[in-house]
Structure 1
Amino acid sequence: MTRTPAPLKFTLISTLYVSQAIPLGFFIVAVPAILRSQGLSLEGVGLLSAIAFPWLIKFLWAPLVDRFGSERRGHFRSWILPLQTLSVLTVVGISLLDLSSQFLPLVLAGAAFMLLAATQDVATDGLSVRILRHDERGPGNGIQVGGYYLGQIVGGGLMLIAFHRFGWTAAVLAMAAFLALPL
């Protein structure tokens, strides 16, 4: 049996953590700022943060992710690839929304996006534990956290800049393209 080199494992892990943290940065940083600039009340902005709730309760379905999966395709891979694909499709749908008149659809799509990302996080955590040797777990955890923060920066700050320069649809489609990279 050949061992996968640590740099390859670390690249995979960092890419996955970046991509699943993008929704959090997007909906916790970029979207509230964009909507506030368009006149949404502070109450509305505050309520928007509730869509991150799936991250808080993901432990409820984590046992299902650990238990069910295709061993033929790779247990955690059989979760990660469909979840990442659905995330990309959800973001494409979000790009079509009119921010000035479709707040509720934005919230619902955002909640779906967060649910997908939180579930992918469970699968990525499981994959990380499975593929990293004991001596690789410390650096792997550092890469996980770094990837998470990079995803927050991309989803939050870079999306605000892209929105300002290119508008909603182009910025969100660029985010969808970025999310598709790990596929």
Structure 2
Amino acid sequence: MSVAAAAPADAAAPPSYKGWAGIKRAFATPSALTLLLLGFGSGLPFLLIASMTLSTRLRDVGLDLGSIGLISLASFFYLLKFLWAPLIDRFPFPLTAFLGRRRSWLLAAQLLVGISLAALAWMRPELGVAGLVTWVLVGSFAGATQDSVVDAYRIEIAPAAAQAALAATYTLGYRFGLIVGGAGALYIADFQGWTPAYLWMAALMLIPVATTLLCREPVAPEATVVRRIDVLGAFWQPFSSYFRNNGVLLGLVLLLFVGLFKFPDQVIGVMAGPFYLDSGFSKSDIATVSKLFGIWMGIAGAFAGGVAVAAFGFRRMLLVATLGVALSNLAFLLMAQHPSELWAFYAAIAADNLFQGFAGVVLIAFMSALTDRNFTATQFALLVSLANLPGKFAGGVSGYLVEATSYATFFTLSALTVVPTLLLLAWLWRRIQDCAAPEPAAPGSG
């Protein structure tokens, strides 16, 4: 089977979304602004709940690295969203069902994210972490649900040929969310404290809420089998469909490859904030370099990835991204050797974020090609969860590794974890072009 299914014979030729012209065309579609704002809503809470802003806050109030690593595991719902994604594919959310299958879940998830951020604003982790962990659990469940629905919405609102360009559009919004949830929160925390920082972030969730209320519901594929099966089948058929389309061996290897693809980058995520503080930088320095300059580097990398996939396909770009993600970790050795020197901070962040952005779009385009639109939320959520699962659990114990060795050793070891991924890619090299699931009758276009 081919990477993108051919258009029906009686359908008009779809527009081209290749190269810069394709990206401009994608921005001109009605769904582009929607994806930008929904991406913002997905990116905004992530650092506040599951990554660097939260770990920086915990280090700032005096928690040890081992505890910070363990607390990061409370956001594990981001890794397990495929478990309830079949319900998202099968049913609308009951209280908001009038909005449609996708938007009903979006609204409920976005409101719960906002509530959890507001609750986290009043937590005092230096006095005890039980309340904080509880609301991190709630927030990560809501954030993971939001991400699953946005991914499904993106795939269903536009034809397969537009996915690389729209992945870049969505990534732009997501990166804006990271800027606000990272740099914005850190600036506010530095001048006003952590409580106002989290309250402002909670208020900003009104932007994606308004977007959900105003955007249109995508047209579901007419062949959506999941609508005609029972609840047990809703959980079983997305997985049986995946292995039926790819075969058992290839399907398993693809899942393992996706799981290891960004491991070198993700394993250092939890320790990034503490490392910046321990290197002698203030919260404002971290906000400026890591979450302002760095996010723009990530946006540049994302658009480079979108153009590269459109021009060359994702097979060769998977190799470039795999190597780049691992080797960019070595740039942090500059910071370890030159603490408190801003030029080293800028150099490390530039390398890391350029390849993060590039690899993110390449991976999204690749996973979108593997997804059966009859089970969009479930299959994409499974792939995204696998893409984050190994690195997340390794990040949970990363603090103990740093304390037992050093930051320099930690970054070197993280780069070497690319070897298994390269071996899997070598085995997949001649098989990737035949690994995508078939696309049913086209849903609503962007």
TM-score by length of 1: 0.88
Distance 1:21 1:51 in 2: 18
Matched, 1:128 2:154: yes
CA contact (8 A) 2:113 2:142 kept: yes
Query: Relative contact order (C-alpha < 8 Å, sep 6+): which is higher?
Result: 1
- One-letter identity of the residue aligned with 1:25: L
Q: What is the CA deviation profile of residues 126-145 of structure 1, one whole-angstrom value per residue up to 9, with x for unaligned ones? A: 11122123343221111222
Distance 2:181 2:129 in 1: 19
Matched, 1:179 2:201: no
Give secondary structure in 2 for the equivalent of 1:40.
Answer: coil
Q: What is the CA deviation profile of residues 38-72 of structure 1, one whole-angstrom value per residue up to 9, with x for unaligned ones? A: 11011111112212311211111111111111664
CA contact (8 A) 2:47 2:181 kept: yes
For residues 42-57 of structure 1, the aligned pairs below 5 Å read 42-57=65-80
For residues 74-89 of structure 1, the aligned pairs below 5 Å read 74-89=100-115
Query: Please, which of 96, 116, 119 is the counterpart of residue 93 of structure 1?
Result: 119
Fraction of identical pairs, as percent: 31
Q: What is the CA deviation profile of residues 71-113 of structure 1, one whole-angstrom value per residue up to 9, with x for unaligned ones? A: 6422100100111111111211222222322422111101210
For residues 31-50 of structure 1, the aligned pairs below 5 Å read 31-50=54-73
Partner of residue 138, structure 1: 164
Distance 1:6 1:133 in 2: 15
Partner of residue 112, structure 1: 138
Number of aligned residue pairs = 179
Distance 2:129 2:91 in 1: 35
CA contact (8 A) 2:113 2:143 kept: yes
Partner of residue 60, structure 1: 83
Query: Please, which of 15, 18, 23 is the counterpart of residue 45 of structure 2?
Result: 23
Distance 1:66 1:90 in 2: 24
CA contact (8 A) 1:22 1:151 kept: yes
Matched, 1:10 2:36: no
- One-letter identity of the residue aligned with 2:142: L
Distance 2:169 2:128 in 1: 37
Q: In the TM superposition, what is the alpha-carbon distance from 1:34 to its structure 2 partner?
A: 1.8
TM-score by length of 2: 0.38
CA contact (8 A) 1:87 1:116 kept: yes
Distance 2:200 2:128 in 1: 21
CA contact (8 A) 1:6 1:136 kept: no
Greater Rg by CA: 2
Q: In the TM superposition, what is the alpha-carbon distance from 1:6 to its structure 2 partner?
A: 4.7
CA contact (8 A) 1:21 1:152 kept: yes
CA contact (8 A) 1:21 1:117 kept: no
Distance 1:43 1:155 in 2: 24
Distance 1:151 1:111 in 2: 20
Distance 1:72 1:43 in 2: 46
Distance 1:176 1:40 in 2: 24
CA contact (8 A) 1:30 1:159 kept: yes
Query: Please, which of 176, 190, 195 is the counterpart of residue 164 of structure 1?
Result: 190
Distance 1:143 1:152 in 2: 14
Give secondary structure in 2 for the equivalent of 1:76.
Answer: helix
Q: In the TM superposition, what is the alpha-carbon distance from 1:147 to its structure 2 partner?
A: 2.5
CA contact (8 A) 2:63 2:126 kept: no
Q: In the TM superposition, what is the alpha-carbon distance from 1:12 to its structure 2 partner?
A: 1.2
Distance 2:203 2:193 in 1: 16
